[in-house]
Structure 1
Amino acid sequence: MEDVTATLSKPALKIGPYEVDPPVVLAPMAGITNVAFRRLCREYGAGLYVCEMITARAVVERHPGTMHMMAFDQGEYPRSMQLYGVDPKTMREAVKIIVGEGLADHIDSNFGCPVAKVTRKGGGAALPYKRKLFAQIVRASVEAAEAAGVPFTVKFRIGIDDDHHTFLDAGRIAEAEGAAAVSLHARTAAQRYSGKADWSAIARLKEAVQTIPVLGNGDIFTADDALRMVAETGCDGVVVGRGCLGRPWLFGELEAAFAGRPIPEGPRLGEVAQVLRRHAELLVQHDGHDKAMRDLRKHMAWYFMGFPVGSELRRRFAMVSSMDELDELIGQLDHEAPFPADALGPRGRQGSPGKVTLPHGWLDNPDDDLVPEAEDMHSGG
């Protein structure tokens, strides 16, 4: 490991007026980081917890489903929201609504989504290639947010593919236009979630962006990974996504690591089952029983990753339909089974690299500021 002492002695991460200690941010994940999951994670450690991605147009149109997604727990502060948009005017209007009605304390923006339905219309990770348009979006958003003292931050990827890197320009532009911080997922859009994140790009971005915090994202699956990223790259904080799937206690481990305390041992299966049940309770409170049970099912494989849970029991957990049934299934687990060492690696989607789908002629002129059509996607990615 690099110089961990230097890592632990770095000044506290500040995003606008907010001190983020430990310097850990939960990445917004579609269908995952709702108010229930965020509360579960927050019960283990401090940091900044970002809600699911919200589209600017849906905010302006006050789409009922989007307004429900913009819920925050009573004790959640600062309330952090990620906004997606491709049109400076729509982004400005959405930010005005959010800050004018006191709906969030921090707004992040998504310029890193690699999904084909987004990039084929010029959104997500495709957009920073259009430097003027990117600058206009950040400028409009910052101006609207600054009126209420709300920090606006920007997240992006290394670029479209290995031939079209955009991250250094994106970082400099975001800094120049008044962003409070930038985050880099150290993969290209072509990589999606496959392969390894290139942490050296985070170090290069940190060198290029001098006046605002730089956060690193990609392949943080353990507390040691987070310390190593900060030590190797000099970044000011870390953004954690897939590593916490089925492991909300990772935030407790991260808090201990950054405080220089011993990292707690992983929980036994019985403790994991109680976390799972707590997750179910919080989902029911937020979404009602039926939707909560449907939502919970996708988390089962992550919670039980590596544990000795038989295939039939796994199948039944993945089809659970009531709290009573959940309790009955939990009773059949081996509560003393220790946390498996092989469950500390990648989890969640990985997939394969592939060609990025872009609008016709997208790469012809990086200074074209014509607004693309990607705004019509729904909130949540």
Structure 2
Amino acid sequence: MVWVKLVSTSLITLIMIYMIYYSLVSIKAYRGNFNIAPHHKARTKFLVLIPAVNEEAVINIPVDDLKNQKYPKKLFDVYVIADHCTDKTAMIAKKHGAKVITTEMGLNVKRHGVGKSNTLDYGLHYLGLNEWNKYKYVVVIDSDNNVASNFLQRLNDYAVEFSEPEAIQVHLDSKQGHGFINKGLNLSFIRSNYFQQLPEGDLGCASLLGTGFATSTKKVINQVGGFRFHTLTEDAYEEMYIISHGGNVKFIPDTYVVNENYSKIKQASKGMTRWSRGCAQCCLYFFNYAITHCLVKPSFKNFHILCRISTLSKMTQLIIIWGFWIWHYIFGSAFSNLRVDWLIYPMWIQHFMLLLSIVMTLNIVVFENFYLLYPIYGCKRTIYLILNAYVFQLFYNMINLWAIITFSPI
């Protein structure tokens, strides 16, 4: 039973650590004092890449928005990477003003990685090292995104103001749909943009979200030899790679891209399972680094990496910490003869952990959302949206659990 106690104690301790971390980050957000970059003269050159696989119905959306940017045309180029498309994606993209790279154009280019990372890396290596080094940043936009007209200008402002950070993420919105999944995801974007991205961006530890971000050519792309972040969640891997190497990821709150969102359970299950497995890959890559560096070379950024990968434990939180307390406090008397004790902590610490976990869960699920939504929607609508968000989180925890149980490293 000793090893069971050690494992359960370690898992619950890790959960408590990251919950405390995100609660402390939220305090900075409640204070509302953030470093927002002022306007700077346009001088940063961007290479915008849009990976696409059979996106003829939507590819015109980001291409048109980028064509209408309030930013000098000579300072950016837009490439659509039509990867094994069997429809008219390439033709439509070209018609709307984008430059196009197709799979057939680079048959001699060696492919690396999986998913979006594979497509982006292919596009970069088709262009070649000399070509991509003409740009300060590589910008990634999904093929169905709407893009704000000041998007590139604000990327430029942050690049100039903060001495060209390794990566910059903009505010991510999602398109309105129906059902608890759509409402829950929308609310999670609203909450995380304010209570995580803004305060962590000030500290150089914002999250990359798969689209609407810029990566430094010199400081990142050249260092890894392209866009070679070999997981199903290339954005999370890149983010932790940058931070673990002492770099900065900044966040821009006043420009945006708008992403498609899930409404159907089957579609959401597939997408979120892929995301959870990709996060598990990142956990395997960075867990040893996070633990050893937090112990040997403690710093905020190393602690952030540990907490970031620990958010994979959302399903562990649901199954272990709440399951443990329910077992211990509700059914404990029925099984008292078994003398089951899952933690090495004395009981007063366990009581304190229970109280703290309830407070922190209420902060994340209720208080933060109420703080943001009540001024806009009023009390009744806010409560309705929070209930949707909570149901969505339970659903997402179950997806996390299934993804981890069926996970196999690649």
Same structural fold, with TM-score higher than 0.5 when normalized by the shorter chain: no
Q: TM-score, normalised by structure 2?
A: 0.29
Structure of larger gyration radius: 2
More helix by share: 2
Q: TM-score, normalised by structure 1?
A: 0.30
